Amino acid sequence: MTEPLDSLDVVRVFCGPDGRYGNELGVVRDGAVLPERVDRQALAAKLGYSETVFVDDPERGVIDIYTPSAPLPFAGHPCVGTSWLLDVPELVTEAGVVEARQDGEFTWIAGRAEWVSGKTTRRYGSVAEVDALGILPPGEWIYAWAWEDEAAGRVRARGFPGRGDGIDEDEATGAAALLLTAELGRALNIRQGRGSQILTAPGPGGIVEVGGRVRLAPTRG
């Protein structure tokens, strides 16, 4: 029988223009090797990535998403990374069907703000204030942001999950970027974490597209 780590790929999602940074994502391509959710949660905790995805049907794009401490019905960087890895036109998540597309060096997914739960955006007055933040206290998922260039839609952001599960700061967070885009009602170019880049664009009917670069990364575990 195939072991879970034998079918594990790791990618970095929302890499910067130079291909560095991005948020690591573990993808277990063969979800059948670990069918029970309690076992999937245990592996996600062991691996320690911001999220780990289990692919239950690679042709249809059916996936199951976990943080180190809880399952998620939808998340941005797992959907971007998995759609790039599987090269599929859509993913089926617990929250709904996520359309996906490739456009040059960018992979895009389309989601809805109502799929994003438990995250709060918090605006600061300057980039310097965001950069100066220490790790925020646990208890609330905070997306701290400030305008770098409001006219151009350029944003500086940092994400603090506040779950107490070892992920004190998220390097790049697609769902929070989607939420911020829906709140502001405009396309954004977000610099998050140490140097990750997230692009967003609101669409018709409440849809928001989120895009970024994806690169393979070494596995660990």
Those residues with Cβ within 8 angstroms of residue 128's Cβ, 6 or more apart along the chain or in another chain:
none
Those residues with Cβ within 8 angstroms of residue 170's Cβ, 6 or more apart along the chain or in another chain:
23, 50, 159, 160, 161, 176, 192, 193
Please name the amino acid found at residue 87. Answer: D
Q: What is the pairing mode between strands 71-72 and 154-160?
A: unpaired
| Two domains, one topology: 4-102 and 115-212 | yes
CA distance linking residue 29 with residue 173, whole number of Å:
22
Those residues with Cβ within 8 angstroms of residue 73's Cβ, 6 or more apart along the chain or in another chain:
65, 93, 94, 95, 115, 117
Superfamily for domain range 4-102:
Diaminopimelate Epimerase; Chain A, domain 1 (3.10.310.10)
What is the CB-side half-sphere exposure of residue 15 using CA atoms within 13 A? 17
CA distance linking residue 33 with residue 88, whole number of Å:
21
Residue-by-residue pLDDT tens, the chain, 221 positions? 467 788 999 999 999 999 999 999 999 999 999 999 999 999 999 999 999 999 999 999 999 999 999 999 999 999 999 999 999 999 999 999 999 999 999 999 999 999 999 999 999 999 999 999 999 989 999 999 999 999 999 999 999 999 999 999 999 999 999 999 999 999 999 999 999 999 999 999 999 999 999 999 977 65
Where exactly are the structural domains of the chain?
Answer: 4-102, 115-212
pTM: 0.95
- φ, ψ of residue 50 to 5 degrees: the values are -55, -40
Biggest CA pair distance of the chain:
55
Class of domain 115-212: alpha beta
